[in-house]
Chains A and B, each alone.
Chain A
Amino acid sequence: MSIDFMPAAEPIARLIEEFNKLPGIGPKSAQRLAYHLLQAPAEKAEALAEAITAIKEKLSLCSICLNITDSDPCIICRDGERDPSKICVVEEPIDILPLERTRKHAGLYHVLHGVIAPADGIGPEELKIKELLSRLDGGLVTEVILATNPNLEGEATAMYLQRLIAPLDIRVTRLARGLPFGGDLEYADDVTLSRALEGRQEM
Protein backbone atom coordinates (compact mmCIF):
# COMPACT_ATOMS: atom_id res chain seq x y z
CA MET A 1 0.00 0.00 0.00
CA SER A 2 1.70 3.19 -1.06
CA ILE A 3 0.13 6.49 -0.24
CA ASP A 4 1.34 9.53 -2.09
CA PHE A 5 3.02 11.94 0.33
CA MET A 6 4.34 14.14 -2.45
CA PRO A 7 2.92 17.45 -1.22
CA ALA A 8 5.67 17.25 1.43
CA ALA A 9 9.34 17.68 0.51
CA GLU A 10 11.03 14.44 -0.57
CA PRO A 11 13.02 13.69 2.66
CA ILE A 12 10.00 14.25 4.89
CA ALA A 13 7.76 12.24 2.56
CA ARG A 14 10.27 9.38 2.81
CA LEU A 15 10.26 9.52 6.60
CA ILE A 16 6.46 9.55 6.71
CA GLU A 17 6.38 6.55 4.45
CA GLU A 18 8.84 4.66 6.67
CA PHE A 19 6.90 5.46 9.86
CA ASN A 20 3.71 4.39 8.15
CA LYS A 21 5.15 0.89 7.68
CA LEU A 22 5.47 0.39 11.45
CA PRO A 23 2.80 -1.60 13.31
CA GLY A 24 -0.01 0.53 14.75
CA ILE A 25 1.04 3.68 12.90
CA GLY A 26 -1.35 5.01 10.31
CA PRO A 27 -0.72 7.79 7.79
CA LYS A 28 -1.80 10.56 10.19
CA SER A 29 0.39 9.42 13.10
CA ALA A 30 3.25 8.99 10.67
CA GLN A 31 2.90 12.58 9.54
CA ARG A 32 2.78 13.83 13.10
CA LEU A 33 5.89 11.89 14.08
CA ALA A 34 7.80 13.08 11.04
CA TYR A 35 6.96 16.76 11.55
CA HIS A 36 7.69 16.42 15.26
CA LEU A 37 11.20 15.18 14.47
CA LEU A 38 11.66 17.93 11.93
CA GLN A 39 11.13 20.51 14.65
CA ALA A 40 13.04 18.65 17.36
CA PRO A 41 16.71 19.51 18.07
CA ALA A 42 19.22 17.73 15.86
CA GLU A 43 20.62 15.66 18.79
CA LYS A 44 17.21 14.16 19.46
CA ALA A 45 16.78 13.05 15.88
CA GLU A 46 20.32 11.67 15.77
CA ALA A 47 19.81 9.77 19.03
CA LEU A 48 16.75 8.10 17.52
CA ALA A 49 18.55 7.27 14.29
CA GLU A 50 21.47 5.85 16.26
CA ALA A 51 19.18 3.77 18.48
CA ILE A 52 17.54 2.29 15.41
CA THR A 53 20.77 1.36 13.66
CA ALA A 54 22.14 -0.07 16.91
CA ILE A 55 19.42 -2.69 17.22
CA LYS A 56 20.37 -4.04 13.83
CA GLU A 57 24.14 -3.71 14.16
CA LYS A 58 24.79 -4.64 17.75
CA LEU A 59 22.13 -7.18 18.60
CA SER A 60 22.30 -10.90 18.03
CA LEU A 61 20.94 -14.03 19.68
CA CYS A 62 22.60 -15.32 22.84
CA SER A 63 24.37 -18.56 21.95
CA ILE A 64 23.00 -20.23 25.10
CA CYS A 65 19.42 -19.08 25.68
CA LEU A 66 18.72 -17.46 22.27
CA ASN A 67 17.47 -14.28 23.87
CA ILE A 68 18.24 -11.06 22.03
CA THR A 69 21.48 -9.63 23.36
CA ASP A 70 24.25 -7.13 22.65
CA SER A 71 26.90 -9.35 24.21
CA ASP A 72 27.30 -13.10 24.00
CA PRO A 73 26.41 -14.80 26.35
CA CYS A 74 23.60 -12.47 27.40
CA ILE A 75 23.52 -10.73 30.80
CA ILE A 76 21.21 -13.35 32.27
CA CYS A 77 23.28 -16.34 31.14
CA ARG A 78 26.48 -14.56 32.28
CA ASP A 79 25.13 -13.75 35.73
CA GLY A 80 26.91 -16.02 38.24
CA GLU A 81 24.23 -15.35 40.89
CA ARG A 82 21.56 -17.14 38.90
CA ASP A 83 20.67 -20.80 39.32
CA PRO A 84 21.70 -22.72 36.19
CA SER A 85 19.74 -25.81 37.24
CA LYS A 86 16.39 -24.22 36.38
CA ILE A 87 15.48 -23.23 32.84
CA CYS A 88 12.32 -21.34 32.06
CA VAL A 89 11.14 -21.87 28.48
CA VAL A 90 9.33 -18.96 26.78
CA GLU A 91 7.92 -18.36 23.30
CA GLU A 92 9.46 -14.98 22.49
CA PRO A 93 12.24 -12.77 23.88
CA ILE A 94 9.61 -10.24 25.00
CA ASP A 95 8.11 -12.83 27.39
CA ILE A 96 11.24 -12.69 29.55
CA LEU A 97 10.50 -9.11 30.62
CA PRO A 98 7.30 -9.77 32.62
CA LEU A 99 8.84 -12.88 34.18
CA GLU A 100 11.90 -10.89 35.24
CA ARG A 101 9.72 -8.19 36.76
CA THR A 102 8.29 -10.75 39.18
CA ARG A 103 11.83 -11.48 40.53
CA LYS A 104 10.58 -14.99 41.33
CA HIS A 105 12.60 -16.87 38.80
CA ALA A 106 16.26 -17.02 39.70
CA GLY A 107 17.20 -19.51 36.99
CA LEU A 108 17.96 -19.11 33.32
CA TYR A 109 15.75 -18.85 30.24
CA HIS A 110 15.37 -20.47 26.87
CA VAL A 111 13.61 -18.72 24.00
CA LEU A 112 11.83 -20.96 21.47
CA HIS A 113 11.15 -18.16 18.97
CA GLY A 114 7.62 -19.31 18.24
CA VAL A 115 5.14 -22.08 18.99
CA ILE A 116 3.98 -25.16 17.17
CA ALA A 117 1.32 -23.97 14.71
CA PRO A 118 0.57 -26.83 12.29
CA ALA A 119 -1.75 -24.80 10.05
CA ASP A 120 1.01 -22.23 9.49
CA GLY A 121 3.47 -25.00 8.75
CA ILE A 122 5.43 -24.35 11.96
CA GLY A 123 6.61 -27.60 13.50
CA PRO A 124 9.27 -28.37 16.12
CA GLU A 125 12.06 -28.05 13.53
CA GLU A 126 11.24 -24.38 13.08
CA LEU A 127 11.66 -23.73 16.82
CA LYS A 128 14.77 -23.71 19.00
CA ILE A 129 13.97 -27.09 20.52
CA LYS A 130 17.16 -28.87 19.51
CA GLU A 131 19.10 -26.11 21.27
CA LEU A 132 17.04 -26.64 24.41
CA LEU A 133 17.62 -30.39 24.42
CA SER A 134 21.35 -29.96 24.01
CA ARG A 135 21.38 -27.65 27.05
CA LEU A 136 19.73 -30.44 29.04
CA ASP A 137 22.44 -32.91 28.05
CA GLY A 138 25.02 -31.92 30.64
CA GLY A 139 23.03 -33.23 33.63
CA LEU A 140 23.24 -29.85 35.34
CA VAL A 141 19.60 -28.94 34.77
CA THR A 142 17.09 -30.34 37.26
CA GLU A 143 13.94 -28.44 36.31
CA VAL A 144 12.42 -27.08 33.13
CA ILE A 145 9.61 -24.57 33.62
CA LEU A 146 7.33 -24.36 30.61
CA ALA A 147 6.09 -20.78 30.31
CA THR A 148 4.55 -20.84 26.84
CA ASN A 149 1.33 -18.83 26.49
CA PRO A 150 -1.83 -20.35 27.99
CA ASN A 151 -3.58 -20.83 24.65
CA LEU A 152 -4.02 -23.83 22.39
CA GLU A 153 -0.72 -23.60 20.53
CA GLY A 154 1.19 -22.77 23.70
CA GLU A 155 -0.35 -25.76 25.46
CA ALA A 156 0.39 -28.04 22.53
CA THR A 157 3.99 -26.90 22.49
CA ALA A 158 4.29 -27.44 26.25
CA MET A 159 2.84 -30.94 25.97
CA TYR A 160 5.21 -31.78 23.17
CA LEU A 161 8.24 -30.51 25.13
CA GLN A 162 7.09 -32.44 28.19
CA ARG A 163 7.16 -35.63 26.09
CA LEU A 164 10.65 -34.93 24.88
CA ILE A 165 12.05 -34.01 28.29
CA ALA A 166 10.27 -36.56 30.51
CA PRO A 167 12.55 -39.49 29.55
CA LEU A 168 15.61 -37.42 30.57
CA ASP A 169 14.68 -37.65 34.25
CA ILE A 170 14.32 -33.89 34.60
CA ARG A 171 11.43 -32.30 36.44
CA VAL A 172 9.06 -30.58 34.00
CA THR A 173 6.69 -27.95 35.38
CA ARG A 174 4.11 -25.71 33.75
CA LEU A 175 3.05 -22.24 34.89
CA ALA A 176 -0.21 -22.52 36.84
CA ARG A 177 -3.35 -21.69 34.91
CA GLY A 178 -6.15 -19.93 36.66
CA LEU A 179 -7.78 -16.61 37.33
CA PRO A 180 -5.99 -13.35 36.67
CA PHE A 181 -5.50 -11.08 39.69
CA GLY A 182 -7.97 -8.20 39.65
CA GLY A 183 -10.42 -10.04 37.39
CA ASP A 184 -14.04 -11.04 37.77
CA LEU A 185 -15.32 -14.62 38.06
CA GLU A 186 -18.28 -13.63 35.94
CA TYR A 187 -16.14 -13.27 32.86
CA ALA A 188 -14.00 -16.36 33.37
CA ASP A 189 -14.31 -19.08 30.76
CA ASP A 190 -14.90 -22.75 31.60
CA VAL A 191 -11.38 -23.94 30.88
CA THR A 192 -9.78 -21.29 33.07
CA LEU A 193 -12.27 -21.77 35.89
CA SER A 194 -12.04 -25.54 35.93
CA ARG A 195 -8.25 -25.33 36.00
CA ALA A 196 -8.43 -22.79 38.78
CA LEU A 197 -10.62 -25.23 40.72
CA GLU A 198 -8.32 -28.16 40.04
CA GLY A 199 -5.32 -26.11 41.13
CA ARG A 200 -6.95 -24.67 44.26
CA GLN A 201 -4.73 -24.29 47.28
CA GLU A 202 -5.05 -24.58 51.04
CA MET A 203 -5.23 -21.15 52.69
Chain B
Amino acid sequence: MTVPRVYQTEAIIIKRTKLGEADRILTLYTPDLGKLKAVAKGTRRPKSKLGGHVELLTHSLLMLARGRNLDIITQAQTINSFSPLKDDLERISCGLYVSELVDSFTAERIENRRLFNLLLETLHQLSQAKNGELALRYFELHLLDHLGYRPQLQRCASCGSPLQPVTNLFSSGQGGVLCHECGYQEPIARSLSLNALKVLRLWQNCDYATANRVNTNSELSLELEQVMREYIRYLLERQVKSTDWLDKLKKETHQK
Protein backbone atom coordinates (compact mmCIF):
# COMPACT_ATOMS: atom_id res chain seq x y z
CA MET B 1 0.00 0.00 0.00
CA THR B 2 1.32 3.41 -0.84
CA VAL B 3 1.49 6.04 1.84
CA PRO B 4 -0.72 9.05 1.02
CA ARG B 5 1.21 12.18 0.17
CA VAL B 6 -0.93 14.46 2.30
CA TYR B 7 -2.57 13.69 5.59
CA GLN B 8 -4.61 15.45 8.20
CA THR B 9 -4.10 15.42 11.95
CA GLU B 10 -5.03 17.24 15.11
CA ALA B 11 -2.04 18.61 16.95
CA ILE B 12 -0.95 20.69 19.88
CA ILE B 13 2.04 22.88 19.14
CA ILE B 14 4.59 22.33 21.89
CA LYS B 15 7.74 23.91 20.49
CA ARG B 16 8.85 26.27 17.76
CA THR B 17 12.24 27.14 16.37
CA LYS B 18 13.12 29.61 13.64
CA LEU B 19 14.17 28.29 10.27
CA GLY B 20 15.66 30.41 7.51
CA GLU B 21 14.13 33.77 6.74
CA ALA B 22 10.47 33.45 7.62
CA ASP B 23 9.88 29.76 8.36
CA ARG B 24 9.60 27.80 11.55
CA ILE B 25 10.09 24.21 12.59
CA LEU B 26 7.23 23.19 14.84
CA THR B 27 7.18 20.34 17.28
CA LEU B 28 3.67 18.93 17.37
CA TYR B 29 2.03 16.49 19.69
CA THR B 30 -0.61 14.47 17.87
CA PRO B 31 -3.05 11.76 18.97
CA ASP B 32 -2.02 9.14 16.40
CA LEU B 33 1.58 9.92 15.58
CA GLY B 34 2.84 11.12 18.93
CA LYS B 35 5.52 13.77 18.71
CA LEU B 36 6.22 15.07 15.25
CA LYS B 37 8.34 17.81 13.72
CA ALA B 38 7.07 19.77 10.75
CA VAL B 39 7.93 22.88 8.79
CA ALA B 40 5.54 25.85 8.79
CA LYS B 41 6.54 28.08 5.92
CA GLY B 42 6.28 31.83 6.11
CA THR B 43 4.75 31.85 9.60
CA ARG B 44 6.93 34.72 10.77
CA ARG B 45 5.38 37.07 8.22
CA PRO B 46 2.42 39.06 9.54
CA LYS B 47 0.22 38.03 6.62
CA SER B 48 0.93 34.31 6.88
CA LYS B 49 -2.29 32.33 6.54
CA LEU B 50 -0.92 29.76 8.99
CA GLY B 51 0.30 32.38 11.49
CA GLY B 52 -1.81 32.28 14.62
CA HIS B 53 -3.16 28.83 13.87
CA VAL B 54 0.24 27.33 14.60
CA GLU B 55 1.20 29.44 17.60
CA LEU B 56 2.63 27.68 20.66
CA LEU B 57 0.11 25.97 22.95
CA THR B 58 -2.61 25.95 20.33
CA HIS B 59 -4.79 22.97 19.47
CA SER B 60 -5.19 22.91 15.69
CA LEU B 61 -6.33 20.78 12.82
CA LEU B 62 -3.46 20.53 10.35
CA MET B 63 -3.00 19.33 6.83
CA LEU B 64 0.51 18.10 6.18
CA ALA B 65 2.38 17.09 3.05
CA ARG B 66 5.13 14.53 3.31
CA GLY B 67 8.49 16.11 2.72
CA ARG B 68 11.84 14.57 2.00
CA ASN B 69 13.07 15.36 5.46
CA LEU B 70 10.38 17.02 7.51
CA ASP B 71 6.71 17.15 6.64
CA ILE B 72 5.30 20.51 5.61
CA ILE B 73 2.17 22.10 7.01
CA THR B 74 -0.06 23.21 4.16
CA GLN B 75 -3.25 24.22 5.99
CA ALA B 76 -4.15 24.98 9.56
CA GLN B 77 -7.34 25.70 11.43
CA THR B 78 -7.46 26.47 15.14
CA ILE B 79 -9.62 24.14 17.24
CA ASN B 80 -8.83 25.85 20.53
CA SER B 81 -6.42 28.73 20.97
CA PHE B 82 -6.64 28.66 24.79
CA SER B 83 -6.73 32.43 24.77
CA PRO B 84 -7.48 32.78 28.53
CA LEU B 85 -4.21 30.92 29.06
CA LYS B 86 -2.34 33.28 26.79
CA ASP B 87 -3.53 36.42 28.55
CA ASP B 88 -1.87 35.56 31.81
CA LEU B 89 1.84 35.35 32.50
CA GLU B 90 1.61 32.60 35.16
CA ARG B 91 -0.60 30.46 32.97
CA ILE B 92 1.64 30.90 29.93
CA SER B 93 4.60 29.88 32.02
CA CYS B 94 2.82 26.77 33.30
CA GLY B 95 1.85 25.92 29.72
CA LEU B 96 5.43 26.27 28.52
CA TYR B 97 6.63 24.05 31.36
CA VAL B 98 4.06 21.39 30.45
CA SER B 99 5.10 21.45 26.80
CA GLU B 100 8.78 21.26 27.70
CA LEU B 101 8.06 18.17 29.80
CA VAL B 102 6.20 16.47 26.96
CA ASP B 103 9.00 17.31 24.55
CA SER B 104 11.70 16.05 26.93
CA PHE B 105 10.02 12.77 27.77
CA THR B 106 8.88 11.64 24.32
CA ALA B 107 10.54 10.36 21.17
CA GLU B 108 9.23 11.15 17.71
CA ARG B 109 6.45 9.18 16.07
CA ILE B 110 5.49 7.00 18.98
CA GLU B 111 1.76 7.05 19.49
CA ASN B 112 0.50 7.82 22.98
CA ARG B 113 -3.11 8.89 22.84
CA ARG B 114 -3.53 9.00 26.60
CA LEU B 115 -0.68 11.48 26.80
CA PHE B 116 -2.25 13.61 24.08
CA ASN B 117 -5.54 13.67 25.98
CA LEU B 118 -3.75 14.54 29.22
CA LEU B 119 -1.93 17.41 27.54
CA LEU B 120 -5.13 18.73 26.03
CA GLU B 121 -7.01 18.50 29.31
CA THR B 122 -4.17 20.16 31.17
CA LEU B 123 -4.23 23.14 28.80
CA HIS B 124 -7.98 23.40 29.41
CA GLN B 125 -7.39 23.28 33.16
CA LEU B 126 -4.63 25.88 32.99
CA SER B 127 -6.95 28.18 31.03
CA GLN B 128 -9.35 28.23 33.98
CA ALA B 129 -7.04 27.67 36.91
CA LYS B 130 -6.56 30.31 39.59
CA ASN B 131 -3.56 28.39 40.74
CA GLY B 132 -1.68 26.48 38.09
CA GLU B 133 0.41 24.54 40.63
CA LEU B 134 -2.24 21.91 41.23
CA ALA B 135 -2.71 21.31 37.52
CA LEU B 136 1.04 20.98 37.09
CA ARG B 137 1.37 18.36 39.82
CA TYR B 138 -1.58 16.40 38.47
CA PHE B 139 -0.06 16.62 34.99
CA GLU B 140 3.36 15.44 36.17
CA LEU B 141 1.91 12.45 38.02
CA HIS B 142 -0.17 11.32 35.08
CA LEU B 143 2.52 12.06 32.50
CA LEU B 144 4.85 9.69 34.36
CA ASP B 145 2.03 7.19 34.54
CA HIS B 146 1.45 7.25 30.77
CA LEU B 147 5.16 6.88 30.11
CA GLY B 148 5.67 3.89 32.35
CA TYR B 149 7.20 5.70 35.32
CA ARG B 150 4.12 5.57 37.56
CA PRO B 151 5.42 6.14 41.07
CA GLN B 152 4.61 3.33 43.50
CA LEU B 153 2.59 4.94 46.27
CA GLN B 154 0.50 2.09 47.62
CA ARG B 155 3.17 -0.04 49.25
CA CYS B 156 6.91 0.04 49.82
CA ALA B 157 8.58 0.18 46.41
CA SER B 158 11.41 -2.01 47.65
CA CYS B 159 10.06 -4.75 49.96
CA GLY B 160 6.38 -4.48 49.05
CA SER B 161 5.19 -4.28 52.64
CA PRO B 162 2.20 -2.01 53.43
CA LEU B 163 3.10 1.56 54.36
CA GLN B 164 2.53 2.82 57.89
CA PRO B 165 0.51 6.05 58.25
CA VAL B 166 3.58 8.07 59.22
CA THR B 167 6.16 10.16 57.45
CA ASN B 168 7.74 7.77 54.96
CA LEU B 169 10.53 8.19 52.41
CA PHE B 170 10.40 8.79 48.68
CA SER B 171 13.16 7.40 46.52
CA SER B 172 13.56 8.57 42.93
CA GLY B 173 15.87 5.64 42.25
CA GLN B 174 13.28 3.10 43.40
CA GLY B 175 10.47 5.06 41.75
CA GLY B 176 8.22 5.26 44.76
CA VAL B 177 7.68 5.40 48.49
CA LEU B 178 9.84 3.34 50.81
CA CYS B 179 9.03 2.06 54.29
CA HIS B 180 11.38 3.05 57.10
CA GLU B 181 13.41 -0.17 57.05
CA CYS B 182 14.14 0.04 53.33
CA GLY B 183 14.49 3.82 53.38
CA TYR B 184 17.47 3.75 55.70
CA GLN B 185 19.44 1.70 53.23
CA GLU B 186 18.66 4.08 50.39
CA PRO B 187 21.15 6.95 50.35
CA ILE B 188 19.15 9.44 48.26
CA ALA B 189 15.66 9.08 49.66
CA ARG B 190 13.80 12.15 50.94
CA SER B 191 11.09 12.27 53.55
CA LEU B 192 7.49 12.34 52.40
CA SER B 193 4.83 13.51 54.84
CA LEU B 194 1.66 11.54 55.33
CA ASN B 195 -0.44 14.38 53.90
CA ALA B 196 1.68 14.56 50.78
CA LEU B 197 1.38 10.80 50.32
CA LYS B 198 -2.39 10.98 50.68
CA VAL B 199 -2.70 13.77 48.13
CA LEU B 200 -0.45 12.00 45.63
CA ARG B 201 -2.41 8.77 46.04
CA LEU B 202 -5.68 10.55 45.45
CA TRP B 203 -4.41 12.46 42.40
CA GLN B 204 -2.92 9.37 40.89
CA ASN B 205 -6.35 7.76 40.75
CA CYS B 206 -8.81 10.57 40.11
CA ASP B 207 -9.79 12.97 37.37
CA TYR B 208 -9.09 16.69 37.24
CA ALA B 209 -12.48 17.63 38.66
CA THR B 210 -11.84 15.64 41.85
CA ALA B 211 -8.20 16.73 42.01
CA ASN B 212 -9.30 20.35 41.95
CA ARG B 213 -11.21 19.90 45.20
CA VAL B 214 -8.03 19.27 47.15
CA ASN B 215 -6.86 22.24 49.16
CA THR B 216 -3.15 22.32 49.80
CA ASN B 217 -1.44 24.89 52.00
CA SER B 218 1.77 26.44 50.77
CA GLU B 219 3.96 24.08 52.81
CA LEU B 220 2.32 21.02 51.34
CA SER B 221 2.40 22.39 47.76
CA LEU B 222 6.09 23.07 48.12
CA GLU B 223 6.73 19.53 49.34
CA LEU B 224 4.76 18.05 46.44
CA GLU B 225 6.57 20.26 43.97
CA GLN B 226 9.96 19.19 45.32
CA VAL B 227 9.17 15.48 45.34
CA MET B 228 7.93 15.55 41.76
CA ARG B 229 10.75 17.77 40.59
CA GLU B 230 13.41 15.51 42.06
CA TYR B 231 11.84 12.44 40.55
CA ILE B 232 11.57 14.06 37.10
CA ARG B 233 15.11 15.32 37.33
CA TYR B 234 16.28 11.82 38.19
CA LEU B 235 14.43 10.32 35.21
CA LEU B 236 15.57 12.93 32.69
CA GLU B 237 19.05 13.09 34.19
CA ARG B 238 18.85 16.85 33.92
CA GLN B 239 16.86 19.77 35.20
CA VAL B 240 13.79 20.91 33.29
CA LYS B 241 14.83 24.34 32.00
CA SER B 242 11.50 26.12 32.53
CA THR B 243 11.58 25.47 36.28
CA ASP B 244 14.02 28.36 36.79
CA TRP B 245 11.52 30.74 35.25
CA LEU B 246 8.58 29.30 37.22
CA ASP B 247 10.55 29.73 40.45
CA LYS B 248 11.54 33.27 39.58
CA LEU B 249 7.96 34.29 38.80
CA LYS B 250 6.71 32.74 42.02
CA LYS B 251 9.38 34.45 44.08
CA GLU B 252 8.63 37.85 42.57
CA THR B 253 4.88 37.56 43.15
CA HIS B 254 5.50 36.62 46.78
CA GLN B 255 7.68 39.66 47.29
CA LYS B 256 4.86 42.00 46.39
Contact = CB atoms under 8 A, between A and B. Distances in A.
Contacts of B241: 118-121
Interface in A66-125: 116, 118-121, 123-124
A116 B244 CA distance: 12
A190 B81 contact: yes
Nearest to A121: B241
B69 to A, nearest CB: 14
Interface in A143-176: 151-153, 155-156, 159-160, 163
A24 interface: yes
Contact of B248 (A24, A119, A123): A123
Interface residues of B, number: 32
Contacts of A192: 51-52
B3 interface: no
Contact of A180 (B47, B86, B93): B47
A160 B246 CA distance: 12
Contacts of A120: 241
Contact of B89 (A160, A180, A187): A160
A125 B38 CA distance: 31
Contacts of B245: 116, 118, 123
B97 A118 contact: yes
A191 interface: yes
B40 to A, nearest CB: 12
Chain B interface SS verdict (over half): helix
A194 B252 CA distance: 31
A121 B15 CA distance: 14
Interface in B193-214: none
Nearest to A184: B49
Contacts of B78: 189-191
Contacts of B96: 118-119, 152, 156
Nearest to A182: B47
A41 interface: no
A156 B242 contact: no
A162 B86 CA distance: 15
Contacts of B56: 151-153
Contacts of B92: 152, 155-156, 159
Contact of A155 (B81, B86, B97): B86
B107 to A, nearest CB: 17
Nearest to A193: B52
Interface in B69-107: 78, 81, 83, 86, 88-89, 92-93, 96-97, 99-100, 103
A180 B47 CA distance: 6
B93 A151 contact: no
B100 A118 contact: yes
Contact of A118 (B53, B83, B88, B246): B246
A188 interface: yes
Contact of A119 (B15, B21, B81): B15
B205 to A, nearest CB: 30
A199 interface: no
A186 B41 CA distance: 18
